[in-house]
Amino acid sequence: MRLTNLIILAVAAGLGITAVSCGHKDKFIGTWTAISPANITNLLPAASTATSLTTMQLMPAGSNDTPGSVCLSSLIDITQPVDPAAGSFDQPYEVSVAATASVCGTWHYKGNEDDELLLSLDLNSITVTVDPAGVTYTENLLTGKQQPQLDSLTAATAALWKKQLTAAMRQEFGRFAVLDDIEVNRDGFLSLEIQSPDTELHFRRSE
- pLDDT in single tens digits along all 207 residues of the chain: 443 343 333 444 444 433 333 445 578 999 999 999 999 999 999 999 999 999 999 999 877 678 999 999 999 999 998 876 655 566 778 899 999 999 999 999 988 878 999 999 999 999 999 999 999 987 666 565 567 777 888 899 999 999 999 999 999 999 999 999 999 998 889 999 998 889 999 999 996
Between CA 21 and CA 165 the distance in angstroms is 40
Q: What is the pTM of this model?
A: 0.81
- Cα angle for residues 4, 18, 200 (degrees, 5° grid): 155
Give the 3-state secondary structure of residue 8.
helix
Model pLDDT for residues 106-123, shown as the tens digit of each residue = 999 988 878 999 999 999
